[in-house]
Amino acid sequence: MSEQAEDVDGRFWDGEDGSEASQRCRSLVNALDDGITVVDAAGEVTFANERAEDLLGRPHEALVSADDARWTLVDEAGERLGSGEFPFDRVRARQIPISDQIVGLRRLSGACTWLSVNGAPQWNENDEFDGAVFVFEDVTDQRDAETEVEEILGRVTDAFYALDEEFRFTHVNNRAEELLQASEEELLGEVLWELYPEAAEIDDVWDAFQAAMETQEPQSYELYFDPLEFWVEATIYPSETGVSVYFQDVTERKEREQYLEAAKTQLEAATEAGAVGTWEWYISEDSFVTGASFARTFGVDPEAAREGIPLDRVLSSVHEDDRDRVAAEIENVVENCGTYEAEYRVWNADDELRWVVARGHVECDEDGTPERFPGALTDITERKRAELQVEKQSRELATLFQVLPVGAVVANADGSLRRANDTARDIWGGDVFDAESVQEYEKYTAVWSDSGEPVGPEDWTMYQVLQGEEVTEPNVYEIDTFDGEHRIIMEHGKPVRDEYGNVSRAVVTLTDITERREYQRKLKESNERLEQFAYAASHDLQEPLRMVTSYLQLLERRYSDVFDDDGQEFLEFAVDGAERMREMIDALLEYSRVDTRGDPFEPVDLDAVLEDVQEDLTVRIEESDADIATDDLPRVNGDPSQLRQLFQNLLSNAIEYRGEEPPQIDVSAERAGEHWVLSVRDEGVGIDREDAERIFEVFQRLHTHEEHPGTGIGLALCQRIVERHGGEIWVESEPGEGATFSFTLPVARAE
């Protein structure tokens, strides 16, 4: 439709040339269900079809492209559109088409019409911007349906009970007590069928429980249960020790469905005159007689349809997946002289797939022989599409909520808890989210993790969110769960606001960080022990090492002329070994102090850090004739001295393991969300894939000291520095193909 609008000259829209083709085009455009407007380069509306005038609520002459006193344009969140956000402004600024921009026309009365807007620019003969064409569709009903589904889903609260293999009650939650009209004390240990013998007499109920136990597959049923006087919807989940039953009182929903079904029947009966058409099938003659509208819809010659066509000709238009069902239903109603109603899909004359509802009844003679089958067919495509879309979104929302890897709890504006997923129940040790107000939050026992102070009802994240706060810096609590466990949890929260900006509900996520905290505690203890060991090793070994070195140097000064060549070589080995041991002790001490002796994080300019490192390595760079190319490096949050050590170790390695050619080294940076990925690439000897992880371990060397000197701690120190900064480090390499060491660092908060 938008392509038509782009290709038609502005005069053709207005019918200025008076031609018959122009008038036909105008009539066609006015007959469309979508609104169409043409706007010139100055923003003035030069054409609007009748549907556009209806949707915008005024005649063509009163239309303007800017805001209007009678209504306000708002975005999907209900906020007034700002400068540059109007559809025309977007097309004019970008000069490219826009699609599916959702805008609302909020009128002075408060009512809002929602439109899905598509637009495309137009050009004059000089390829200059000459205005735009817009096509918009009323999507108010779809948005209202989505909102209604979310509200219905949120009001659902499941009751739960568990049975053992003998169908004895082993657990009952509060909602189940209420619906079963019995306390937990009255139910526990009792057999379901003895307490509710009427249930055993209902085939759907008995068969569902038996099938669940025998097949170990979930079973469901929905029915009206007379003893308790409500409609129940239940799902049975089997296990090796019994079954778990989740059920709801769906009386309100069923009454609503019955009301909607009655309303739908009345509405469709009232609009029967607007149906696709009516038919009369003379059964014994197999003569299917229809009106012209019905015939044209399905590509049947109207003259032939008035005379009568075989039923198979009509059934051939039914979608192949529905055809057998429709034929069987027709056969059944003919055999029983009954009333017919069916929904199914059909292909129309334009090969478009449409949904229809067919209604009719079979008339029989005194002997019960079917003679005549009159009926009517109504197109329900738009309604059906909306229903299917709502069903799909409902399923997606429900599935997403349940499979979230974190706990999630939703509350109403008054503080009553309306919904929680399985993860949240697991964290708190049961289906315990039944508080009706903030005051009832007292039953959730917890203390603040950092201070140990008790958490009151108004200290919970949920209460803060209900006050309109967005909790992005998490609250951390130590909780006593309802199944006797002690856990540490982290909570975030966000309010959900209505179109007026008021908090309509609150969502809080829970993460169990008990194991993480325990790991952090053990890691801290391990680091402290490592530092103590390294300090002791440094302190206790340095002194005897200095003595060994001093005596070796004394031997060299006093008796060097006495030693033969072998003696001189042995002495050099001993001095070199002592020096290497000193370097290793110093490196080990530095490795152990990365976490405990580092400086606080601050914004760091990595260009300046790399410049200092290259200056420190000037001699090695010149001796090796190294060529170092660098991108513009970013600012990050980190410890300046440790980041300098990180780059120095990586550049030193790239120079050391250069191979036979002068080193070619590239330093680059790439943004990845809230982190930077920094890489140091060389063209040296490379590393075998099997050694890619081992090289980051302490004292793990791939070459002898004679081939390449070093302590064997350099890359382990790099990994420890990167991990302290919340990142990770890795290598990509092949032997003889060089190596690329990459690591991540957080983006500086100032950016």
Task: Tell me the per-residue pLDDT of 289-318, one tens digit each, with 9 for 90 and over.
Answer: 988 878 888 888 888 888 899 999 989 999
The 10 Å Cβ neighbour count of residue 48 is: 26
d(CA 630, CA 635): 15
Task: Tell me the per-residue pLDDT of 347-358, one tens digit each, with 9 for 90 and over.
Answer: 988 888 989 999
CA angle centred on 746, ends 492 and 732, rounded to 5°: 120
Question: Can you read off the two tokens belonging to residue 242?
Answer: 């019994």
pLDDT band at 19 (very low <50, low <70, confident <90, very high): low
**pLDDT at 255 > cutoff 90:** no
Tell me the helix, strand and coil percentages in the chain, rounded to 5. Answer: 40, 30, 30
Provide DSSP, 590-657: HHHTTTTSPPPPEEEEHHHHHHHHHHHTHHHHHHHT-EEEEPPP-EEEE-HHHHHHHHHHHHHHHHHT
Task: Tell me the per-residue pLDDT of 622-677, one tens digit each, with 9 for 90 and over.
Answer: 989 999 999 999 999 888 888 998 999 899 889 988 877 899 999 999 998 888 99
Position 327 scores a pLDDT of 94
d(CA 717, CA 489): 32
Helix axes 606-616 and 640-656, enclosed angle (nearest 10): 50
Across 60-69, 238-247, 525-534, least confident range: 60-69
CA distances in angstroms from 716 to 29, 212, 250, 519, listed in the order given = 72, 56, 62, 20
Q: Which of 734, 738, 632 is nearest to 692 (CA)?
A: 734
Question: Can you read off the two tokens belonging to residue 529?
Answer: 């022990």
pLDDT band at 9 (very low <50, low <70, confident <90, very high): very low
**pLDDT at 367 > cutoff 90:** no
pLDDT band at 586 (very low <50, low <70, confident <90, very high): low
**pLDDT at 414 > cutoff 70:** yes
Q: Which of 736, 659, 738, 728 is nearest to 696 (CA)?
A: 728
Quick check: 452 and 476 in contact, CB under 8 A? Answer: no
Q: Which of 405, 413, 407 is nearest to 444 (CA)?
A: 407
Q: What is the average pLDDT score of the chain?
A: 81
Q: Where are the alpha helices (DSSP H) in 440-491?
A: 461-466
**pLDDT at 263 > cutoff 70:** no
Across 255-264, 334-343, 441-450, least confident range: 255-264
The 10 Å Cβ neighbour count of residue 184 is: 15
Position 585 scores a pLDDT of 66
Q: Determine the average pLDDT of the residues in 596-616.
A: 86
Task: Tell me the per-residue pLDDT of 703-747, one tens digit each, with 9 for 90 and over.
Answer: 444 444 545 677 888 998 898 888 999 999 888 888 999 999 988
d(CA 215, CA 380): 40
Quick check: 516 and 526 in contact, CB under 8 A? Answer: no
Question: How many residues does this entry show for the chain?
Answer: 751
Task: Tell me the per-residue pLDDT of 133-168, one tens digit each, with 9 for 90 and over.
Answer: 989 898 888 777 666 544 433 343 578 899 999 999
Tell me the β-bridge partners of 598: none
d(CA 209, CA 193): 11
Position 22 scores a pLDDT of 60
Q: Determine the average pLDDT of the residues in 247-256.
A: 85
Position 661 scores a pLDDT of 85
Position 439 scores a pLDDT of 85
Tell me the β-bridge partners of 489: 477, 512
Position 350 scores a pLDDT of 86
Q: Determine the average pLDDT of the residues in 429-449.
A: 88
d(CA 423, CA 733): 41
d(CA 283, CA 291): 18
Across 6-15, 189-198, 661-670, 704-713, least confident range: 6-15
Please tell me the number of Cα atoms within 13 Å of 279 on its side-chain side.
Answer: 29
Task: Tell me the per-residue pLDDT of 80-102, one tens digit each, with 9 for 90 and over.
Answer: 888 888 888 888 888 888 888 88
Quick check: 195 and 212 in contact, CB under 8 A? Answer: no
- Percent of the chain past pLDDT 70, that is, above it, reads 80
pLDDT band at 1 (very low <50, low <70, confident <90, very high): very low
